[in-house]
Amino acid sequence: MRFIFKVFFPLVFVIAAAIAFYVYQQFETFKTSTTDTAVESFEIKKGSNIRIVADSLQQKNILKKNGLIEPKWLFTGLAKITKQDRKIKAGEYSLKQGSTPSQLLDLFSSGKTIQYQTRIPEGFKFSEIIKIIKADKNLKQTLTDDDYKNIMSKLKTKYQHHQPEGWFLPDTYSYPRNTTDLQFLQRSHDAMLKELDKHWQGRKEFKGIETPYDALILASIIEKETGAPEDRGKVARVFINRLNIDMMLQTDPTVIYGMGDKYKGNIRKKDLKKDTPYNTYTRKGLTPTPIAIPSKAAIAAAFNPDQGKMLYFVAKGNGYSYFSNTYAEHKRAVIKYILNGKANKYQGDK
């Protein structure tokens, strides 16, 4: 027995040492290996552990044998040694050509997943936002038409009983795969709440603007009435001045919004006279809801209008508007810029 122990123990030790050295060589070679090609999309599904990730990498031929023992075992071993095996984050990743196993682990641990982008343009109505979301193939569609009709009740918000119009901040949003339509809207709504709160905290007090929602409504009107960005502050001042003296806002975009599908691209005098909750030619004060989503610039203008006594403005035809303090001055501006100097065509006094 002692003879067997003396003969075979050294042999076993030599074999074990040889195997260990071989594995060590394989491991060192593996660590310096790199991916042959770029991979546009590699997804780690939620709940996947490091073994599942390693197996998927080998199945997709990202971890190649190239004379090595099972590279997925080596990848798993490297993850355990570097303590990244429990730091892997689910998501969709873009893998660069020439990436080492360590770089892959760093990427999967960072959570820097592929980001998709969707833009909500300023001045859009909620019905137009719905079309953008429904047409976006990168968003996971979970909402029904009925859900959209009651969207505010599905959001985490204190404004659950409000209409959705105006409550989503226009911007370009980046998000990972499997983001749902509801999550996207929640993020946009949260951004709007944050933007309003930022301005509301240090606001100047204006008659008719008693709540953040009032400011949102005014900002939406400013958004739709502004041609040139430089005019926003002046447009805001006109409406603030009118609210201050209980003068009707008399703004066409609110009338158009109130007309709904009846608006065919042309607003007529009879439309201005037909009363609706949104007709600011027949009713004083703000409209019941916003008429569109305002930009950050329009929101800022609602809280910080330019100084001045202007009560009127008219488009000059070059994107800018002419602002007047008095009706007589406004009448002359309309004749000049709208009627090409033909005073006999002016109907504002009728």
Q: From CA 287, how far away is CA 17, in angstroms rounded? A: 84
The predicted model gives 33-44 an average pLDDT of 90
pLDDT value, residue 264:
86
pLDDT tens, residue by residue, 274-301: 999 999 999 999 999 999 999 999 999 9
Q: Is the pLDDT of residue 15 over 70?
A: no
Domains, the chain, ordered by start: 33-114 (3.30.1490.480), 116-199 (no CATH), 207-345 (no CATH)
Helix/strand/coil percent split, the chain, to 5: 50, 10, 45
* Percentage of residues of the chain with pLDDT beyond 70: 90
Q: Is the pLDDT of residue 303 over 90?
A: yes
The predicted model gives 89-101 an average pLDDT of 93
Q: Of the ranges 29-33, 216-220, 226-230, which is most confident?
A: 216-220
pLDDT tens, residue by residue, 108-137: 999 999 999 999 999 999 999 999 999 999
Q: From CA 300, how far away is CA 281, in angstroms rounded? A: 25
Residues 6+ apart with CB under 8 A from 182: 142, 143, 147, 154, 155
Facing residues of 117 across strands? Answer: 174
